[in-house]
Amino acid sequence: MALPTTSVDTCLVCGAASHGVHFRVISCRACAAFFRRSLEASHLYKCRRLNKNCDVSKNAKHNCRYCRFQKCKRVGMRYQETSTTPPRSPKSNESNGSPVNLPEIIIEDHKVIYDSEPLLAFVKDLLNGPPLPLKTVDGVRYAPLQRFHMAFNQHLFDGERPTVISDVKFMKLTMIMREMENVIQRSAKFLMSCEEFVELPKNDKWRLYRQFTSNVMCIVRAVATVEFFGCDLEDKRIMYTEDSCIFSDNVDYDTEQISPSTAETLRNVFRPLCTNLYKKVVSPCKQLQITKFETAYILAAILWNTDEIDDVSVETQEAADRFMSEAASEMHHYYRFEMKMENYAERLSKLIKMINAIEKIATQRREMFTLLNMFDMFSCSLFKSDTFF
């Protein structure tokens, strides 16, 4: 005969079966993970019913994150953070204060004269160096996708809204190049925070890094767009840099730096890609109201897709399979116990469809740059086959 469950055996937040003491409070895994993620991502929740007194028990029909987070704090959950990471520089200095001595960008009609060697050397030194530390909590063992989620917040997108977001109607090539430099550096730092990636053979790390960098911009921009502009499908803006956005259906180029004919060529080539990015990636993100944890899964799927990489080692293939197998288990737990979804198959299938769209857009962009260079219509060393994109 089973003994009756006492209050000591139940989570003090939701009443489910407890899993020991987490953050100084008897709680279940789901509530402990929710509390940790809320703090690490600096989420600011709003009460769904505006009464700030929602039912957050395990059987609650709706899951109000605001009330759940407040309940976590009321029952005594406390967060202790340890990190060897130095304090983050102000965002305005993060790109301009790059550790790389970035070269001058010279525009000569349809050619971008750019010395990519300093950036290339910086990235290769970083990829061949020691792992970068993540902010961690004492006594907590993190699963692979949880660490990806933390690295996303730390290196790719922290969710902090800029004071001013500028609408860019005419894109300058210098702005585009500086944003590319930013993405290249941030991607390397993100990946070197991933234990599994750090341990890969050097050649494979470079191959996976190049594949990841060419894809990562799409999803980061989409998530930032939803975070800052909301889920209105009629709003065609897409975040392009940390503090500027473009209109996906009206992309154009500044003719102060390039000739009108070159601007027209770029417009004809890349406006359809931007429209496709909005339709296939940004719009689904809005419809799903995508979460950062789901974004971490998308990034993992992009990184560990070795099908299109020639001569990747067996060791790397096995690492990819292990990571994605664990990620699948984490997603199941996340959907069932944090999002309280009994049937999440449709939502997950939409994420996979989005991943395929991101990879296809990246492939189309590479092909476009190759053709433009081949016919001497536009060229830049960052987009050559032996460098980053």
The tens digit of pLDDT for each residue in 99-113 reads 566 778 888 777 888
Structure tokens, 281: 């990636």
- The predicted structure's pLDDT at residue 79: 66
- The predicted structure's pLDDT at residue 208: 96
The radius of gyration of the chain's CA atoms, rounded to the nearest angstrom, is 23
User: CB under 8 Å to 44, separation ≥6 — which residues?
Assistant: none
Rounded CA-CA distance 28/160 in Å is: 30
Cα 109 from chain centre: 34
* Residues 270/368, Cβ–Cβ less than 8 Å: yes
- The predicted structure's pLDDT at residue 92: 37
- The predicted structure's pLDDT at residue 59: 82
3-class SS of residue 163? coil
- The predicted structure's pLDDT at residue 224: 94
Rounded CA-CA distance 89/333 in Å is: 35
Structure tokens, 66: 């605001």
The CB-side HSE value for 6 (13 A sphere, CA atoms) comes to 2
Q: Which residue's structure tokens are 């994150």?
A: 65
Q: Which amino acid is at 292?
A: K
- The predicted structure's pLDDT at residue 286: 96
Structure tokens, 116: 């990519």
Q: At what angle do helices 292-303 and 345-374 cross, to 10 degrees?
A: 50
Closest CA to 224 of 238, 207, 203: 238
- The predicted structure's pLDDT at residue 4: 37
- The predicted structure's pLDDT at residue 49: 76
- The predicted structure's pLDDT at residue 80: 55
In the chain, which residues have pLDDT < 50?
1-8, 81-97
Structure tokens, 191: 């990946």
H-only helix segments in 116-201: 117-127, 144-151, 173-191, 195-198
- The predicted structure's pLDDT at residue 389: 58
- The predicted structure's pLDDT at residue 292: 92
* Residues 220/145, Cβ–Cβ less than 8 Å: no
- The predicted structure's pLDDT at residue 334: 93
